Amino acid sequence: MTAQLIDGKAIAADIQAEVAKRVTALKQRGLTPGLAAVLVGDDPGSVSYVTSKTEDSAAVGIFSETFHLPESTSQEELLGLIADLNADERFHGILPQLPLPSQISEHAIIDALSPAKDVDGLHPANLGRLLRGETGGALPCTPHGVLQMLNRTGNDPAGKHVVVVGRSTLVGRPLAVLLSNKAKGANATVTICHTGTPDIGRFTRDADIVVMAAGRPNTLTADMVREGVVVIDVGTNRIEDASRKRGWRLVGDADFPAIREKAAWITPVPGGVGPMTRAMLLVNTVSAAERTLA
């Protein structure tokens, strides 16, 4: 068996088209959804992420503005900007690009966001509502994107055993909660594995669906999955590759070439989960704008 590829780019494009329609409808009611991106310092990765997000926003008709502060910004200064943006009616979403410089507590900044404008879905109030089984607010982008990928390829997780490898606040923990929700497109039996699991293969071999969010190449090998498994790979790791001009390439947490011969479905890296995370940010922003009219 050679797995079908789960094309994150194509699914993300579908979602962007849906968002664009919702933006048009809002504009007809006189409301332009707005996203404030906050960038502190000049880390090339962060600059590139913020650029992509504002370009994505423009493509679907969302107004965006980037607030670029120097690396030396103090926590108080950044909190001041967040307070201003919380009060600024042009913006329905605020996106502090992580990581922040070491003199600033990321939790302090996230906690200062108005939960209604927290389009990353990382404010404790939003995470708490998720743990309470509510899905009406902003959901963390990557876990929400994973759910969309499964459901939009006919891989409804209901009644399936899903093994999530990784317990980060950004991905693993909220994803396990989302997948086990008593809700359409969820309702899975979920196992969370992590660095404290002595034998991850014991669990993944029993899985109908494996989601890798460990952040380490080759954490999932072909002997650790059964024929016909569905693999979603959230990992994006740089590994040396002398054959490439730049000297490296991106790989996920799964041994893609070998598992592809055994799985029913698998996401490529890049081009899998990454575009979905970006698309779900647009969904959260337009949803936040819609809620201001509700």
Binding site for its own copies (CB under 8 A): 107, 123-133, 158-159, 161, 167, 169, 173-174, 176-177, 180-182, 187-198, 203, 206
Q: 62 or 162: whose CB is closer to its own copies?
A: 162
- Catalytic site positions: 53, 97, 120
Please answer whether residues 79 and 108 qualify as being in contact, where contact means their C-beta atoms are separated by less than 8 angstroms. Answer: yes
| Distance in angstroms (rounded) separating the CA atoms of residues 169 and 173 | 6
Place of tokens 């891989």: 155
State in angstroms the smallest separation of the CB of 200 from its own copies: 8
Contacts of residue 76, Cβ cutoff 8 Å, sequence gap at least 6: none
| Distance in angstroms (rounded) separating the CA atoms of residues 203 and 56 | 37
Q: 26 or 211: whose CB is closer to its own copies?
A: 211
State in angstroms the smallest separation of the CB of 61 from its own copies: 31
The SS3 assignment for 269 reads coil
Please answer whether residues 131 and 293 qualify as being in contact, where contact means their C-beta atoms are separated by less than 8 angstroms. Answer: no
Please answer whether residues 291 and 126 qualify as being in contact, where contact means their C-beta atoms are separated by less than 8 angstroms. Answer: no
Q: 52 or 181: whose CB is closer to its own copies?
A: 181
The SS3 assignment for 184 reads coil
State in angstroms the smallest separation of the CB of 14 from its own copies: 27
Q: What is the DSSP string of 147-174?
A: HHHHHTTT---TT-EEEEE---TTTHHH
Q: 30 or 159: whose CB is closer to its own copies?
A: 159
CB count, 10 Å around CB of 72? Answer: 10
Q: Which of 26, 83, 105, 55 is nearest to 281 (CA)?
A: 55
State in angstroms the smallest separation of the CB of 132 from its own copies: 5
State in angstroms the smallest separation of the CB of 105 from its own copies: 13
